Structure 1
Amino acid sequence: MMGGLRGSITIGGLAAALKLMKYYYVQQQQAARAELTALKAQLHPHFLFNTLNNIYAHAQPTAPVAAELVLGLAGLLRYMLYSAQAPLVELAEEVGMLRAYLELEQTRYGNQLEMVVHTPADCQQLRIAPLLLLPFVENCFKHGTSTVLEHPWLSLDLRLVGTTLQLKVVNGTAGGHPVGASGGLGLATVRRRLALLYPGRHQLVTRAEEELYLVTLTLALDPPAALGLPAAAPRP
């Protein structure tokens, strides 16, 4: 009986050891795959930015406008790949990214595009979900100025009233071809994000008319104290 018991214990121990070895092997494989994925994620942007820098260096002497476009594109991509991965970003960064995007479009259209932009000089350390405002500006060019053959125009007014953000975007459209009420997939996505991230704290209105498209957004942002951030020092 004792011999049989020792044999069963040995077999059970061997089975347990094999199971543990298999578990350890699987964990090691998963860790290796995760590390490889992380390395690839670092490698691809590195290769991309190196390529853009090379294009910028080669284009600068002969095509300075194209070189500036490449430089601006690299800045936007860097923001989208790195800064925009956080749940919240500084409103000043988001506004800076919007202005950089508008500058790229202004360069592309040249003097043909009439553009009026107003943004707050002081964003009061406020934070916002990243890339939340960009679809409204992209929509201007995708469904608006790109369809206007003569005198394309847009107006962007971004203001702060306390910690409430007020955005108004108006752009011209081709007569007889107004933008749909939904504004396309981009605005449908941002509507969903607003509903999930700022429930009961926003109001979004879009209006399509014969020759213009209007978007107004009112968004209540968290004050810095609610996010555990130090209050800004008072100005002299």
Structure 2
Amino acid sequence: MSLREFVLSDRLSYRITRHFVFWFFWGGYFTITRLLNPMPLMATGQFPNFWKTVVETFFFLFPQTFIVYPALYFVLPKFVFKQKYVLAFCWFLVFYFVALTVHAIFLLYIPWAKMAWVPKANLFLTTTTFAQKIYFAYLGSVLGSITSLALAGCFKMFKHYYLKSLRNQQLQQENSDAQLRLLMAQVQPHFMFNTLNNIYSQAQEESPKSAKMIMALSHILRYILDEGKKDWVPLENELEMVVDYLNLEKIRYDNKLDLHYSFPNVEEITIAPLLLLPLVENCFKHGASKMIRKPWINIKAELKNQTFSMKLMNGKKRTSTLAENRIGTGIENVKRRLSLLYPNTHKLEIRDEDDVFVVDLRIELNSNYSIKHTPDEQLIFGYE
């Protein structure tokens, strides 16, 4: 086991060990500083007993967990990493007060008469009113809480931003590889689109239905070649491309397919390109194409604030294979891209039931609309 693997791994055994190591060293530092405190030496002429000091350290360390762990697993991931700093500060104050209260309760109800060797014992043995005891309890609770939170928070933030940097590097590498594969696949695009243009002109006279299919196919191909190599595209364009694909399949199935879809009107919001098409394609590949009688597909997309949701349902044969066998490369690529592009801001559920296959996607999208639009080409299938 390397140090890098120990620090970054999400394995449960490594995580438990990391926490143990953190509290061991922080508790050890806390114990040594209290053991070498000159005040007991000046009062008694000797240093405190080591094991008694360890017990005293426990009374300070255990309440600190009531602010450290809520901060690590709630405040940081839910608010700080999402740049919601005001809410993060408010929640921090709440948990800080909780931690101080727990520690104060410890200090109030410790049997100080049996622990006179603790430096704070005299404070609680000599105070007469309960209000004074509460005051000293809260005052004594402040010690070490912020320091332990700062140390644990630094480790958490280092891990978060380091993993984020690794994800960005991996994403850049995968995007470069994808663009290279795309360039390799672009064999004479001018020839391809000019040929489609000629076929379309011929088909308009002889087979209008085929002409419509060629039109839809050309739009999809142009979108894949032009938009597929970009980092972000307008959600509106992505949905239009999906509609072109659905219209193409609807023509192919004629009246045999029961297809219903609903997409929202969207403006000034972006999404990663070609993220939705594999999900839609999966409905046809593993659903409609496998059903002899009454194939059906239902697709509904919604956009609320910046949260985009899309639910895809398609009928299937009862004898279909299990979900893990049905999910092909396209879906796996979508999962991979979602984890890289939208970490912690997406949810993808896939359910394989007796008669229906359901895909439920939810993503928090980006509203920064900084994409430059290019003028429409003059040719129907023009490629530049």
Same fold (TM over 0.5): yes
Match of 1:53 in 2: 197
Q: Structure 1: where are the runs of 5+ without partners?
A: 1-38, 230-236
Match of 2:320 in 1: 177
Task: Give the aligned residue type for 2:354.
Answer: E
Deviation, structure 1 residue 63: 1.1
Equivalents in 1 of 2:187, 2:286: separation in Å? 35
Task: Give the aligned residue type for 2:338.
Answer: L
Deviation, structure 1 residue 61: 1.0
Pick the aligned partner of 2:300 from 157, 163, 188.
157
Contact 1:178–1:210 (8 Å) recurs in 2:
no
Deviation, structure 1 residue 171: 0.3
Instruction: Say whether residues 1:166 and 2:309 are aligned partners.
Output: yes
Pick the aligned partner of 2:332 from 188, 201, 204.
188
Instruction: Say whether residues 1:117 and 2:242 are aligned partners.
Output: no
Q: Give the secondary-structure state (helix, strand or coil) at the position aligned to 1:70.
A: helix
- TM-score scaled to structure 2, two decimals? 0.47
Deviation, structure 1 residue 41: 8.7
Identity of counterpart residues, as a percentage? 41
Contact 1:178–1:213 (8 Å) recurs in 2:
no
Instruction: Say whether residues 1:132 and 2:132 are aligned partners.
Output: no
Instruction: Say whether residues 1:145 and 2:288 are aligned partners.
Output: yes
Equivalents in 2 of 1:109, 1:42: separation in Å? 29
Match of 1:86 in 2: 230
Q: Give the secondary-structure state (helix, strand or coil) at the position aligned to 2:351.
A: strand
Equivalents in 1 of 2:226, 2:304: separation in Å? 29
Match of 1:72 in 2: 216
Q: Structure 2: where are the runs of 5+ without partners?
A: 1-182, 372-384
- The C-alpha deviation readout for 1:170-196, integer Å capped at 9, x for no partner, is 001112215523621111110000001
- TM-score scaled to structure 1, two decimals? 0.75
Deviation, structure 1 residue 223: 2.1
Q: 1:92 to 1:179 in 2, by over 3 A?
A: farther
Q: 1:221 to 1:146 in 2, by over 3 A?
A: same
Equivalents in 2 of 1:115, 1:102: separation in Å? 9
- The C-alpha deviation readout for 1:81-110, integer Å capped at 9, x for no partner, is 012211000000000000110000001001
Equivalents in 1 of 2:193, 2:267: separation in Å? 32
Equivalents in 2 of 1:189, 1:78: separation in Å? 21
**Greater relative contact order (CA < 8 Å, ≥ 6 in sequence):** 1
Task: Give the aligned residue type for 1:171.
Answer: N
Task: Give the aligned residue type for 2:201.
Answer: A
Q: Give the secondary-structure state (helix, strand or coil) at the position aligned to 1:61.
A: helix
Contact 1:178–1:209 (8 Å) recurs in 2:
no
Task: Give the aligned residue type for 1:136.
Answer: L
Instruction: Say whether residues 1:97 and 2:244 are aligned partners.
Output: no
Deviation, structure 1 residue 43: 7.4
Match of 1:106 in 2: 250
Count of aligned positions: 188
Equivalents in 1 of 2:208, 2:228: separation in Å? 29
Greater Rg over alpha carbons, structure = 2
* More helix per residue: 2
